[in-house]
Amino acid sequence: MPFTVIFRKFTSGQNPVFPADSQNCVRGGFSPAAAPYLEQMAAKAKIETSKHFGNNVYFFTPLYIANYCENYCVYCGFNCYNHIKRMQLTMEQIEHEMKVIADSGMEEILILTGESRAKSSVEYIGEACKLARKYFRMVGVEVYPVNVDEYRYLHECGVDYVTVFQETYDKVRFEQLHLLGHKRVFPYRFDSQERALMAGMRGVAFSALLGLSDFRRDALASALHVYYLQKKYPHAEMSLSCPRLRPIINNDKIDPLDVHEKELCQVLCAYRIFLPYVGITVSSRESKEFRNGIVKICATKVSAGVSTGIGDHESKYSGKDDGEGGDEQFEINDGRSFNAMYSDISGEGLQPVLNDYLYV
């Protein structure tokens, strides 16, 4: 059955017949029936992780360069109707932030903006990526979806991989949560990773924001999204993130509903068993204790030295807060510095990896 047909049925609430080699995923790991077998799932996931990734844990840090947004997403601190301090960094400010981060030892950066073409044009993002190439071995972007030619331009500017969160694969819930802006166009967002691969990107990352809708269906849809593109583009590096809802400015009551750490662990183990070659990222939305534990089982990538605000890495690293930064997208849970994270991961008997890619 074609991918588009499966997803049309899945996102409209029907139960399509999935290909035979994905039956284990559909019937097994994501369902409530698998919850009593979490220990066995974790053991199997750990074997698969060790087999394909060894004891390596990859590091990166995000850099938010603007928080202007044209979308009204009710769960996001950047939404256009939220009264926050907005800011767009100049190229001089961006380079300064990058130098501060690079001096800490970090070699991979993820550049993020709010979803506003007016304030964060493709050219502006591209110039930031050119600067990033001076300081980092790996450059990713998590920005609004763009066309193939624009992804190609960003790739030429030095971008290695593209991350796009679908947020939820429930199309009815998607419309309820995204009340204004280009983000309301579900199919265009859904096809972002394929457009990036068509443009020559080396890797792409996927995610649903767990807690917006039925997290089991969203997790399953995310896994299938990766599965089909992996079949179509076997050369590409693919990864999954697993963010849960976090409090935002002017709404500290937001929570991930029924997605607790046990449920999140189940999702991550199911991801690893179903997609053994895919990278799994666990961000600073999660606690120090959870992240220290999950990297021993199935996660392969973590963020460190994180700030979701604009222009405040120097204050975060030096302790000097001049109050000039822009407000954050969401509240983080694990605020460890790069050095602290490196020490903790090493102390768990794992190998922190800053970069494993060489340009020739």
pLDDT-derived band at 10 (thresholds 50, 70, 90) equals very low
Among 341, 310, 304, smallest CA distance to 326 is for: 310
Residue given tokens 């179903």 in the structure block? 274
What pLDDT shows up at residue 319? Answer: 53
pLDDT-derived band at 3 (thresholds 50, 70, 90) equals very low
Whole-model pTM?
0.89
Average pLDDT over residues 164-179: 95
Length, in residues, of the chain: 360
What pLDDT shows up at residue 310? Answer: 81
What pLDDT shows up at residue 324? Answer: 66
Average pLDDT over residues 286-309: 92
Q: Is 179 left (phi over 0), alpha (psi -120 to 50) or beta?
A: alpha
More confident residue, 1 or 207: 207
Residue type, 98: M
What pLDDT shows up at residue 18? Answer: 43
Q: Give me the chain's average pLDDT, please.
A: 88
Residues 64, 84: Cα–Cα separation, whole Å:
15
Name residues whose C-beta falls within 8 Å of residue 291's C-beta, 6 or more positions apart in sequence. Answer: 282, 284, 299, 302, 334
What pLDDT shows up at residue 309? Answer: 78
Extract the tokens encoding 229: 């593109």
What pLDDT shows up at residue 66? Answer: 94
Average pLDDT over residues 145-158: 98
Residues 97, 68: Cα–Cα separation, whole Å:
18
pLDDT-derived band at 21 (thresholds 50, 70, 90) equals very low
More confident residue, 18 or 168: 168
Helix/strand/coil for 168:
coil
CATH 3.40.250.10 fits 3-353, yes or no: no
Whether residue 79 contacts residue 69, with contact meaning beta carbons closer than 8 Å, is answered with yes
Among 257, 183, 199, smallest CA distance to 233 is for: 199
Whether residue 29 contacts residue 270, with contact meaning beta carbons closer than 8 Å, is answered with yes
Residue type, 95: E
Is residue 23's pLDDT more than 80?
A: no
Residue given tokens 């606690």 in the structure block? 287
Note the pLDDT tens digit of each residue in 187-221: 999 999 999 999 999 999 999 999 999 999 999 99
Q: Rounded to the nearest 5°, which phi and psi values hold at 335?
A: -100, 20
What pLDDT shows up at residue 296? Answer: 95
Integer CA distances (angstroms), 119 to 96, 124, 334, in order: 20, 9, 30
Helix residue ranges, H only, the chain = 3-11, 23-24, 38-53, 91-103, 122-135, 148-156, 171-177, 186-190, 192-198, 215-232, 261-274, 288-294, 313-318, 338-347
Average pLDDT over residues 169-188: 95
Note the pLDDT tens digit of each residue in 314-347: 665 555 555 567 766 677 788 898 999 999 999 9
Note the pLDDT tens digit of each residue in 80-90: 998 888 999 99
Among 104, 63, 69, smallest CA distance to 308 is for: 63
Is residue 6's pLDDT more than 50?
A: no
Average pLDDT over residues 263-286: 95
Extract the tokens encoding 343: 């020490």
pLDDT-derived band at 312 (thresholds 50, 70, 90) equals low
Residues 55, 58: Cα–Cα separation, whole Å:
10
What pLDDT shows up at residue 117? Answer: 96
Among 189, 176, 273, smallest CA distance to 225 is for: 189
pLDDT-derived band at 288 (thresholds 50, 70, 90) equals very high
